[in-house]
Structure 1
Amino acid sequence: MKGESRSTRMKALLQVTIVVFLHLIIIYLLGMKTGKLEVEVVKQMFIMYAAPIILLNVSCKIALKTEKLRYNISWLVISIVPSTRILFYLKELQGKESRGSGVVDLSFFDMKPDFDPAFDHISLIYLFPMIYFCIQLVLIFLLLIMIVTKEKSIAD
């Protein structure tokens, strides 16, 4: 039993790493930037991305513990497709009214009436991690519902 738990943890770590690197590659290929990577920006990014990555790991472990390929594929698709679409949408917004140097401009949303260069990096440092956090919460909730309803139907 203990070896199985270690195997699940290693598989989860590997799959989470693959998803994270895939997102980083997409961000790089889209040419999205957060501005200068100063110490404060890196600290903010670490804080904002820690919770979504932890939830990504939890949802992966839940999917792997079922030992069904369908749950693992569902986890992979839901962890990649919506967030990739969000990244492409943010890049599209950047192309419409880009005033900074390769930074996604969210003035499209009229969140801030005047242009402020410091406001540009919000999309990758704050907005994307919060959206991804919500996606992972919904995924965990759905996985748990799927597992509980499956167990309940087997028990009946």
Structure 2
Amino acid sequence: MKKLLTVALLTISCFLYSESINAQSFEKGQKNFSVGVGAGYGLGVNVGVDYAISDLISIGAIGAFSSRSYGYVLSNYRVTYLSVGGRAALHFGKYLKEIGINEDKLDPYVGAVGGFRTVKYNDTYSTYYSGAAAGIMLGGYVGARYYIKEKLAIYAEGGVPYSSLGISLKF
């Protein structure tokens, strides 16, 4: 986790010291790579890739991992989540100009996610107990990217089955 944070901070530093050019925040053919930390059952890590198939719609893939451990007097308990899936979003930033907001730096969106999630748990109370489960993951989210530089944004997403904050790189 510390190595991931170090790489993220170095990447941000490189982009912050590059030249700034204003551009439309979302357009057809645009690709974004995002890395973030998320709230869920423990602190998790999310990665995602999005591709703009039009000036309004993006499709992409996501992956998320989170794990949490508890220590009790006579036992330890650990639960781990792993999720992979696809996502689609409707980007409505170009309509912000109508209400007086500069859409060049802000990319708000709403979307849906679907995929597969696994859960694994271990408990060492008395006798060793463990198990796993897997199933379909469906949900929705709202979010926004704010471009600090032409190709670097910070983002926030909230929804089900995950919420996250992080950085997004446009390429």
Q: Give TM class, smaller chain.
A: under 0.3
TM-score by length of 2: 0.23
**Which protein has the bigger helix share?**
1
Larger relative contact order (C-alpha < 8 A, sep ≥ 6)? Answer: 1
TM-score by length of 1: 0.25
**Which protein has the bigger strand share?**
2
